[in-house]
Structure 1
């Protein structure tokens, strides 16, 4: 259980951390995604900070389990919102946010299971 918990959490942190960096450095891809979803570009840095905070929280969860759980819940809500934003504008590009959602949800479940939060 421990190996799965660490592996999935680190993979989720790599994915979300990478996404956070793309938002924070002003990469064209997140800007295009915001435009496609008809969201203001000013949300880019805020979304990047939310992803960065979730990434740090997940990794800090190895030392403080409650923090990892809260970060996991926040990231699950973030990616549910991302899926909803895609669906709202009729986008069929759902694989990306769905993969992120699966990884952060799996990390949350493994965190809760490993630390006996069930």
Structure 2
């Protein structure tokens, strides 16, 4: 189970790091999507930091199981919030957020199973 966690956590951390980087850089696609969803521009640094912290926590979870579990819970909650935000804005292009929610849930289950 640990190897499966390492693979899922590593892939998810890579995606979160890329997303955080694009958010910090105010990529036009990210800012346009956030504006469409009604997310204030002032929230972007905080959201990017949350994604970066989730990525770091998932990787640290390779060594410290509790941190990996906590990070996976945080990432699940972050992307559940993203799915809810899409639905509230009546924007049903929520597949990426839903897939990342499921990936984070999988990481959580695998981290717990491998302890």
Same fold (TM > 0.5): yes
Structure 1: runs of 5+ lacking an equivalent: none
Q: How far apart, in 2, do the equivalents of 1:54 and 1:13 lie?
A: 7
**Structure 2 counterparts to residues 32-43 of structure 1, below 5 A:** 32-43=32-43
Q: How far apart, in 2, do the equivalents of 1:38 and 1:26 lie?
A: 16
**Structure 2 counterparts to residues 1-118 of structure 1, below 5 A:** 1-115=1-115
Structural RMSD (CA): 0.9
Q: How far apart, in 1, do the equivalents of 2:29 and 2:108 lie?
A: 27
Where does structure 1 differ by over 4 angstroms across 4 or more consecutive aligned residues?
none
Q: How far apart, in 1, do the equivalents of 2:105 and 2:21 lie?
A: 21
Task: Quote the offset at 1:38 in angstroms.
Answer: 0.7
Q: How far apart, in 2, do the equivalents of 1:87 and 1:96 lie?
A: 13
Contact 2:2 2:111 in 1 (8 A): no
Q: How far apart, in 1, do the equivalents of 2:46 and 2:77 lie?
A: 15
